[in-house]
Structure 1
Amino acid sequence: MSRQKIATKTDPAHTLVIGCGMIAREVLAVKQQFGLNHLDLTCLPAEFHFYPDRIAPAMDKAIGDARAEGYEHIVVGYADCGTGGHLDAVCEKHGVERLAGPHCFAFYQGNDRFMASGDADMLAFYMTDFLCRQFDAFFIRPLGLDRHPELIKDYFGNYEKLIYLAQTDDPELDSVAENAAKLLGLTYEKRATGYGDLTAFLRTANGPRP
């Protein structure tokens, strides 16, 4: 578990965000943008995106460890993320709050917007800034597509479009997403979402903050 901390030792006035490694950069960006210096950050491995059954047990341990370190205020930087309610059970056990929604693709757009577009996006393959940066590491090499491109249809044949949910305005990431759509044979769409519901969640973590 990687740790990115703001304070050199636990400050009882600080709130610890235990988040997914896939949103670490975005959490820190929101913190800097709004001067949320009371937030500390620790992350579970980003690869849990592929192993959602590992999230709840790891979060249970991470919260316990954080309590032992002296953190009184903790929030969970995950949506349900495929845990089937098991993460909610962990949050309830420890009395902590998590990000609302089924996954980051929903809260980046805003959960209300995601729900409203559910039918239209049913066959969409989503990418984020993180997934653009890690496209080769998370998709091409693990799926063997660099060695067996003929498998693309097997893995992605049921998708119709690739939707890039852009947290930032970065032409290089846009190019990665657009090229990925071409590679996978999908229609391309970009949505500039910013940080979506993540911003409000962090700004109000454990009560109103600056």
Structure 2
Amino acid sequence: MQRAEPEKVLVIGCGMIAREVLAVKERLGLDHLELTCLPAELHYRPDRIPALMDAAIEKARAEGYRNIFAGYADCGTGGLLDRVCEKHGVERIAGPHCFAFYQGLQAFEAVEEGDMTAFYMTDFLCRQFDAFFIKPLGLDRHPELINDFFGNYEKVVYLAQTDDPALDKVAQDAARMLGLAYEKRRTGYGDLEPELARAATRS
């Protein structure tokens, strides 16, 4: 008897983790998992995430998707994203933000207090450092503002999803430019991998 194909699962994710979601999909062979993303710029506007997620889920339902997974942690929504997820019967990635689930929630809880003054970077933020920080903050034109924006940080912590010397150099150069200590943690995909595997089994 031919085995039935698993039903499609749609991940509505943050644009900041799109590459990583697709990498996990390929690694685990989750061919029935599909991805659509909300803009990565919502990193700066978490107050907009719940309404946009609500609209995205409504659209996906209208398109016939029964199994939907939110590719977000709370991400600064103060519990409002959970209300949207509960409304639609949709689960999300566990944890407060991607910096936590990349490290794994247990590992994050162990370092959380010591990282209160850490400026986190990920592979995405290394690739987009100029577009997300330098140009929007005007630091290319006014480097004297660095202390105003980053004066309360003590270190850059690069949470590396991959081993890419070019990204490592971006993070090191960022730490040097900002006048901060530097630490690299090779996290891989952390809890993102088991979370997506769990979502994929709901089909």
After TM superposition, the score normalised by the length of structure 2 is 0.96
SS in 1 for 2:199: coil
Q: Any conservation in 2 of the 1:167–1:192 contact (CA below 8 Å)?
A: yes
Q: Any conservation in 2 of the 1:19–1:41 contact (CA below 8 Å)?
A: yes
- 1:208, CA displacement in angstroms? 6.6
* Structure-2 separation of matches of 1:81 and 1:208: 24
Q: Any conservation in 2 of the 1:108–1:197 contact (CA below 8 Å)?
A: yes
- 1:16, CA displacement in angstroms? 0.1
Q: Is it true that 1:80 corresponds to 2:74 in the alignment?
A: yes
Please, which runs of 5 or more residues in structure 1 have no aligned partner?
1-10
SS in 2 for 1:146: coil
Q: Is it true that 1:21 corresponds to 2:15 in the alignment?
A: yes
1:22-171 → structure 2 map (5 Å cutoff):
22-171=16-165
After TM superposition, the score normalised by the length of structure 1 is 0.93
Corresponding letter in the other structure for 2:143: P
Output the aligned Cα RMSD.
Answer: 1.3
SS in 2 for 1:205: helix
- Corresponding residue for 1:189? 183
- 1:12, CA displacement in angstroms? 8.0
Q: Any conservation in 2 of the 1:12–1:71 contact (CA below 8 Å)?
A: no
Please, which runs of 5 or more residues in structure 2 have no aligned partner?
none
SS in 2 for 1:25: helix
- 1:207, CA displacement in angstroms? 2.6
- 1:118, CA displacement in angstroms? 1.2
Q: Any conservation in 1 of the 2:119–2:153 contact (CA below 8 Å)?
A: yes
Moved over 4 A (4+): none
Q: Any conservation in 2 of the 1:127–1:164 contact (CA below 8 Å)?
A: yes
Q: Any conservation in 2 of the 1:17–1:76 contact (CA below 8 Å)?
A: yes
* Structure-1 separation of matches of 2:63 and 2:113: 45
Q: Is it true that 1:198 corresponds to 2:196 in the alignment?
A: no
* Structure-2 separation of matches of 1:184 and 1:84: 29
